């Protein structure tokens, strides 16, 4: 008799908790996959497509679904390290052979531009201004250096130039600084 | 228990954690009066000498400027102008090495003084008579930024909305060697007090605390004398210890308050100004002398006279040293700033700027150069010395590991880079330099993060916009379709519309675009093929007779062909209004015509260069037929020698665009431009197999061809391609599907070869 009581009690408890959990799953449902958001935060948002996906978010979704984490050349090793930490996998060396070590921005040789607007259509971040049959130019501050505008240009007037160093961006060079110690 | 204010009134001075006692070496310069220098030959005035943005340049090269005239204009709140330190001529506005550890070039105005030292009109203000906004404006217009070291614009720092308890005047000057503020106080104490009075008017604090180290008794005495009977002005002598002059350290010394991490002193009701800044404010307001000079300590044992000098802003450091009897020794180091926080400069022509308080030219014995860095032995001396109570060795580990999260956890941002830790380190580790690198990296990371955020926002906005446009287009199309249906229904009976459809069908059938059955399709194709071939032959004959003969619609035998050709011509004419029919059919001839024209000018040369580039790309990527383009060009050159440069440029651009397209197009399309130049233009039904053969032959020849092929070779190639179409009539007509497939394969092979060629010989 006592065993039946126990079974009943456990059964009812299971039903109650099951109902509570089921209700919570519906009531507090998370809309988007937060993992994708986290990965997207880490990616450098250049939207360059070098990973093979049309932008950073699609790649973030692909990583969340198990794609390799080492397909982002603009992010470099730092990004891979962060992604490895987040995903709990081993950090791998960068997949793509050539990594642009220095930050670059697109530069349009303006007297050669024919105003075809092809680069404007290619730019993922709308960093090129211009109109049909009018000269185009790049907003350097908005350019992510993704290279996507170089290929469509019919007259090859777009160069990727290294970003000039400035006093604000300068990093201290350890070797250039003499240590100064005063003797008493 | 007395309140804080009572304790301050009673003269209590507190202490801060850590600190060091390096030899001060101030006695060398603090007894001698401030020397005046001759006006140097050149003044290099950086356009930005403060934290913030540069103003707008007001003068241009060749202008004569008067002493005190503004050279830039403060066009926003974070900008302060720079002024001409003496009268003279603006020689240049160019890049010059900056007075910054990076030694990067920055925009600098070069002034050639004329020796007259002629002032602009000056308008002194009476601080009692004017409101604080006039005073703030005058402070900004006089170019005053913090003279202690950071160079923060003063008008922003003193324009406060919150109540201020204490105005602290920093007269500590704790770094070894430097006596610039000391001498200023000894000589101009009354002016400094006048400046402080202006600050008091702006800030209305409860009390003014002047912090001064106890190794400056003369300066302290002269300040006290200048203050006289003023209420709530307190001169507080603090014990000599480095770095008492740090903002947060001095606040702790004088008020026993600590500025919370990441906050400003203003948040706890304190504003601090340097004593030099107070003096500059007094000069700006009372005498209308903008910040055009400052006291600089010039010291070091390589100098005959170690002294303080009143240097004009922009004076090259080398002039300053030479005026003090400089005898450089081998591998001489010149340090701008003090020995603890200064930096060595490589280029001695860098100028004195608003924040330059000291120039050191030490001997090798006096200040040792960098010695070998050894491993950290975990002695903890650095933690004892740190005035900000940080853990320098932990910070060192994380700096070396580039661990930015840990660095933030250990409050790297609170490091004031005073160098006390490096001074006490028995392993002689340059700790501060590691922190500076780490700080720069953190700033860069933050900048990148911000940029990534912006890029993401822009990308999202763009994606959303494209999606919206697509949706709108779809809706519009649906609306139009619905309208058409409605119109059809409204127009009448079903039988009528059926009749209309029948009519339309008949029309299209006549145009042979929509044949009714298979037999008809084949028959129609045969007929079209025959027509096309006949047309081609006819055209080719015409071409061989007169190579550049006008392929006007009238010459075609078939009226329908003529109509198509006319339509084609019209469409092309729309694109290039002024071009001749030859130019329309043969863009390449037009471009080469321009380069062959005897009276070639500079613009044409540029066009030719562009053509060369286009050719290079073409050669690398395109089918070999592309090489043929220059060949007929030569023949066409004589026909249109007077083509003008603009036309040529337009044609060149089109040609470049075409060349690129060629690389990716179907073989039929690729073939099209080539016969177009040899005037066999209609290639709609051209045999692709034949074309592939021709392509192969041409490819073989193209390999021999250099970028600028010789005329003989070109003629050969041209002949080959001309043979190809002429041989066509004997060829059986292949099924169109097979044609297309073969063509695609040929194109793929050609593309692959072109790519290989490009890789093997980069142009």
Cis peptide before B197 (omega within 30 of 0): no
Name which of A45, A106, A142 to mutate to probe chain B: the one with the most chain B Cβ atoms within 10 A of its Cβ: A45
Residue B308 has pLDDT above 90, yes or no: yes
Q: Would you say how long chain A is, in residues? A: 184
CA distance B140 to A23: 64
**Structure confidence at residue B79 (pLDDT):** 86
Q: Using only C-alpha atoms, what is the Rg of chain B?
A: 41
Q: How many CB atoms lie within 10 A of CB B255?
A: 25
Confidence at B524, pLDDT banded by 50, 70, 90:
confident
The order of strands in the sheet holding B105-113 is B43-46, B105-113, B88-97, B64-65
Distance in Å, alpha carbon of B121 to nearest chain A alpha carbon: 36
Contact at CB, A181 and B371, closer than 8 angstroms: yes
User: Which of A27-41, B308-322, B648-662, B708-722 ranks highest by mean pLDDT?
Assistant: B308-322
A-facing residues of B in 404-463 (CB < 8 A) are: 419, 422-423, 428, 430, 433-434, 436-437, 440-441, 444, 447-448, 451-456, 458-459, 461-463
**Structure confidence at residue B218 (pLDDT):** 94
Find the residue in A nearest to B458 (Cα).
Answer: A125
**Structure confidence at residue B367 (pLDDT):** 82
CA distance B459 to B453: 10
Contact at CB, B343 and A177, closer than 8 angstroms: yes
Residue B467 has pLDDT above 70, yes or no: yes
Residue B672 has pLDDT above 90, yes or no: no
Rounded average pLDDT over B702-727: 45
Residue B310 has pLDDT above 90, yes or no: yes
C-alpha count within 13 angstroms, C-beta hemisphere, residue B395: 30
Residue B191 has pLDDT above 50, yes or no: yes
| Residue B352 near residue B311 (C-beta atoms within 8 A) | yes
Give the percent of chain B with pLDDT over 90: 47
Q: Choose the closest CB to A169 out of B437, B444, B453.
A: B444
**Structure confidence at residue A104 (pLDDT):** 84
Rounded average pLDDT over B224-244: 92
Contact at CB, B437 and A45, closer than 8 angstroms: no
Residue A134 has pLDDT above 80, yes or no: yes
pTM greater than 0.80: no
**Structure confidence at residue B489 (pLDDT):** 87
Distance in Å, alpha carbon of B48 to nearest chain A alpha carbon: 11
Report the DSSP pairing between strands B166-171 and B207-213. parallel
**Structure confidence at residue A28 (pLDDT):** 86
Higher pLDDT, B370 or B201: B201
**Structure confidence at residue B46 (pLDDT):** 93
Confidence at B731, pLDDT banded by 50, 70, 90:
very low
Collapsed DSSP state (helix, strand, coil) of residue B318: helix
Q: Is B609 on the interface with A (CB under 8 A)?
A: no
Domain B1-27+124-277 bears CATH identifier 3.40.250.10: no
Residue B232 has pLDDT above 70, yes or no: yes
pLDDT digits (tens, 9 = 90+) for B566-615: 666 666 656 554 444 443 344 444 344 334 444 445 556 555 656 666 56
Q: Is B469 on the interface with A (CB under 8 A)?
A: no
Rounded average pLDDT over A25-45: 83
Find the residue in A nearest to B360 (Cα).
Answer: A180
Residue B241 has pLDDT above 80, yes or no: yes
**Structure confidence at residue B101 (pLDDT):** 86
Residue A176 has pLDDT above 60, yes or no: no
pLDDT digits (tens, 9 = 90+) for B159-176: 888 899 999 999 999 999
Collapsed DSSP state (helix, strand, coil) of residue B334: strand
Rounded average pLDDT over B169-193: 94
List chain A domain ranges: 34-87, 102-165
**Structure confidence at residue B350 (pLDDT):** 93
What count of CB pairs under 8 Å joins A to B? 119
Rounded average pLDDT over B61-85: 91
Contact at CB, A46 and B455, closer than 8 angstroms: yes
User: Which of B186-190, B545-549, B614-618 ranks highest by mean pLDDT?
Assistant: B186-190
User: Which of A40-54, B478-492, B729-743 ranks highest by mean pLDDT?
Assistant: B478-492
CA distance B202 to B628: 81
Residue B621 has pLDDT above 50, yes or no: yes
Q: Which residues of A touch B369 (CB under 8 A)?
A: 178-179
User: Which of A78-82, A149-153, B221-225 ranks highest by mean pLDDT?
Assistant: B221-225
Q: Choose the closest CB to A179 out of B101, B430, B452.
A: B430
Residue B547 has pLDDT above 70, yes or no: no
CA distance B585 to B569: 8
Q: Choose the closest CB to B656 out of A124, A155, A184.
A: A155
User: Which of A98-102, B151-155, B652-656 ranks highest by mean pLDDT?
Assistant: B151-155
Confidence at B321, pLDDT banded by 50, 70, 90:
very high
List chain B domain ranges: 1-27+124-277, 32-122+289-355, 549-760
CA distance B633 to B586: 8
Residue B632 has pLDDT above 60, yes or no: no
Q: Would you say how long chain B is, in residues? A: 763
Confidence at B709, pLDDT banded by 50, 70, 90:
very low
C-alpha count within 13 angstroms, C-beta hemisphere, residue B391: 11
CATH number of A34-87: 1.10.15.40
CATH number of A102-165: 3.30.70.20
| Residue B542 near residue B549 (C-beta atoms within 8 A) | yes
What average pLDDT does chain A have? 83
What average pLDDT does chain B have? 78
Higher pLDDT, B554 or B322: B322
Contact at CB, B370 and A179, closer than 8 angstroms: yes
pLDDT digits (tens, 9 = 90+) for B675-691: 334 333 344 344 445 55
CA distance B695 to B14: 92
Distance in Å, alpha carbon of A23 to nearest chain B alpha carbon: 34
pLDDT digits (tens, 9 = 90+) for B91-118: 999 999 998 888 888 999 999 999 999 9
**Structure confidence at residue B588 (pLDDT):** 41
Collapsed DSSP state (helix, strand, coil) of residue B590: helix
**Structure confidence at residue A172 (pLDDT):** 73
């Amino acid at each position: 008799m006592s065993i039946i009581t126990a079974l009943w009690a456990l059964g009812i408890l299971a039903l109650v908790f099951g109902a509570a959990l089921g209700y919570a799953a519906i009531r507090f449902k998370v809309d988007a996959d937060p993992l994708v958001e986290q990965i997207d935060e880490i990616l450098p948002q250049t939207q360059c497509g070098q990973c093979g996906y049309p932008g950073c978010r699609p790649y973030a979704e692909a990583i969340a679904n198990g794609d390799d984490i080492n397909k982002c050349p603009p992010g470099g090793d730092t990004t891979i390290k962060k992604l490895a930490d987040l995903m709990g996998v081993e950090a791998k060396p960068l997949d793509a052979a050539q990594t642009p070590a220095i930050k670059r921005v697109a530069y349009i040789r303006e007297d050669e531009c024919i105003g075809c607007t092809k680069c404007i259509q290619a730019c993922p971040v709308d960093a090129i201004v211009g109109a049909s049959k009018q000269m185009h130019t790049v907003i350097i501050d908005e350019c992510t250096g993704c290279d996507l505008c170089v290929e469509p240009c019919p007259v090859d007037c777009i160069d990727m130039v290294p970003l000039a160093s400035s006093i604000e961006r300068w990093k201290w060079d350890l070797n250039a600084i003499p240590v100064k110690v005063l003797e008493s | 228990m007395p309140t804080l204010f009572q304790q301050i009134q009673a003269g209590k001075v507190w202490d801060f954690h850590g600190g060091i006692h390096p030899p001060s070496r101030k006695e060398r310069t603090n007894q001698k009066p401030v020397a005046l220098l001759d006006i140097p030959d050149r003044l290099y005035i950086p356009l930005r000498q403060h934290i913030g943005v540069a103003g707008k340049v007001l003068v241009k090269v060749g202008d004569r400027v008067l002493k005190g005239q503004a050279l830039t204009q403060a066009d926003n709140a974070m900008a302060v102008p720079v002024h001409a330190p003496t009268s003279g001529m603006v020689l240049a506005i160019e890049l010059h090495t900056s007075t910054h550890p990076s030694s990067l070039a920055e925009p600098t105005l070069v002034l050639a003084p004329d020796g007259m030292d002629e002032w602009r009109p000056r308008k002194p203000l009476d601080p009692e008579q004017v409101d604080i906004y006039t005073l703030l404006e005058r402070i900004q217009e006089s170019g005053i930024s913090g003279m202690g070291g950071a160079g923060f614009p003063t008008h922003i720092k003193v324009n406060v909305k919150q109540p201020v308890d204490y105005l602290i005047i920093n007269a500590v000057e704790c770094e070894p060697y430097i006596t610039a503020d000391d001498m200023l106080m000894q000589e101009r104490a009354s002016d400094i007090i006048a400046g402080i009075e202006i600050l008091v008017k702006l800030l209305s604090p409860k009390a003014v605390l002047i912090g001064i180290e106890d190794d400056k008794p003369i300066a302290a005495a002269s300040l006290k004398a200048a203050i006289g009977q003023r209420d709530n002005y307190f001169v507080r002598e603090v014990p000599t210890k480095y770095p008492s002059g740090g903002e947060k350290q001095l606040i702790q010394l004088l008020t026993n308050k600590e500025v919370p991490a990441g906050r400003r002193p203003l948040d706890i009701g304190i504003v601090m100004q340097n004593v030099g800044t107070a003096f500059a404010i007094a000069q700006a307001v009372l005498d209308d002398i903008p910040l055009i000079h400052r006291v600089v300590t010039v010291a070091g044992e390589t100098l005959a006279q170690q002294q303080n000098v009143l240097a004009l802003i922009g004076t090259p450091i080398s002039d300053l040293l030479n005026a003090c009897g400089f005898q450089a020794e081998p591998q001489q180091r010149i340090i701008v700033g003090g020995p603890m926080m200064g930096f060595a400069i490589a280029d001695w022509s860098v100028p004195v700027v608003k924040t330059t308080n000291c120039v050191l030219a030490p001997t090798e014995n006096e200040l040792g150069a960098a010695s070998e860095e050894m491993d950290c032995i975990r002695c903890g001396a650095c933690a004892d010395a740190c005035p900000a109570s940080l853990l320098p060795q932990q910070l060192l580990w994380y700096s070396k590991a580039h661990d930015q999260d840990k660095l933030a956890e250990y409050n790297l941002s609170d490091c004031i880079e005073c160098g006390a830790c490096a001074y006490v380190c028995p392993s002689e580790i340059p700790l501060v330099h590691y922190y500076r690198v780490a700080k720069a990296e953190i700033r860069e990371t933050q900048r990148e993060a911000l940029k990534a955020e912006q890029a993401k926002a822009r990308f999202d906005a763009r994606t959303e916009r494209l999606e919206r446009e697509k949706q709108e287009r779809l809706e519009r199309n649906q609306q139009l379709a619905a309208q058409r249906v409605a119109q059809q229904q409204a127009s009448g009976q079903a039988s009528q519309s059926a009749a209309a459809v029948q009519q339309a069908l008949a029309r299209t059938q006549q145009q042979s675009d929509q044949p009714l059955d298979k037999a008809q399709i084949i028959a129609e194709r045969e007929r079209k093929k025959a027509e096309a071939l006949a047309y081609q032959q006819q055209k080719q004959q015409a071409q061989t007779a007169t190579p550049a003969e006008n392929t006007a619609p009238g010459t075609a035998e078939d009226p329908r062909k003529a109509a198509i050709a006319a339509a084609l011509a019209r469409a092309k004419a729309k694109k290039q209004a002024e071009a001749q029919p030859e130019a329309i059919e043969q863009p390449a001839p037009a471009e080469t015509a321009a380069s062959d024209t005897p009276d070639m000018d500079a613009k044409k040369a540029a066009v030719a260069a562009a053509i060369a580039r286009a050719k290079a790309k073409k050669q690398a990527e395109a089918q070999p037929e592309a090489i043929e383009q220059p060949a007929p060009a030569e023949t066409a050159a004589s026909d249109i020698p007077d083509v003008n440069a603009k036309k040529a440029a337009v044609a060149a651009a089109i040609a470049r665009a075409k060349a690129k397209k060629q690389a990716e197009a179907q073989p039929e399309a690729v073939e099209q431009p080539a016969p177009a130049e040899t005037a066999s233009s209609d290639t709609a039904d051209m045999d692709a197999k034949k074309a592939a053969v021709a392509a192969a032959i041409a490819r073989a020849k193209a390999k021999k061809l250099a970028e600028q092929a010789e005329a003989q070779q070109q003629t050969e190639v041209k002949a080959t391609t001309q043979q190809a179409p002429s041989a066509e009539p004997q060829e059986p007509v292949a099924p169109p599907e097979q044609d297309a497939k073969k063509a695609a394969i040929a194109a793929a092979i050609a593309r692959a070869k072109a790519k290989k060629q490009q890789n093997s010989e980069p142009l």
